[in-house]
Amino acid sequence: MNIQHKDLAAGRWKEMSVSMQMANIGSEVSRALNWRNKGNTEYCLKAAARSLELLDLSLDAADSFPTLKELARVREALVDYFYGSNVYSSSETLWRKYFDHFNYIVRR
């Protein structure tokens, strides 16, 4: 696997709060959604892969079971939405609303 976020994987990611991590993941998800809307599947999947890479870094850094559980569920649902058959019935609106809350927290 080709690591896109080398400086974050080197340890900087663990120094961020969970809200900051989720806001960054949300940025990549937003990029993937934007590329999907533009009909560029290649860029959409690349952005989705970067979001999953960041989620994996968050899973490695998780310090409590509830956080680990939430991150694992988000990862599962994102994989289903971008790569699977969307059995969880996720939508673009749902993903944007979910991650907007973290952006709000971080900017506050």
Evaluate whether 8 touches 54 at the Cβ level (below 8 Å).
yes
CA distance 26 to 30: 6
- Average pLDDT value for residue range 75-84: 98
Q: Is residue 68 part of a domain?
A: yes
Q: Is residue 5 part of a domain?
A: no
The number of folded domains in the chain is 1
Range of the domain at 78: 17-107
pLDDT digits (tens, 9 = 90+) for 11-32: 788 889 999 999 999 999 999 9
Classify 78 as helix, strand or coil. helix
Q: Is residue 4 part of a domain?
A: no
Mean pLDDT score across all residues of the chain: 91
CA distance 19 to 100: 11
- pTM passes above 0.85: yes
Q: Is residue 49 part of a domain?
A: yes
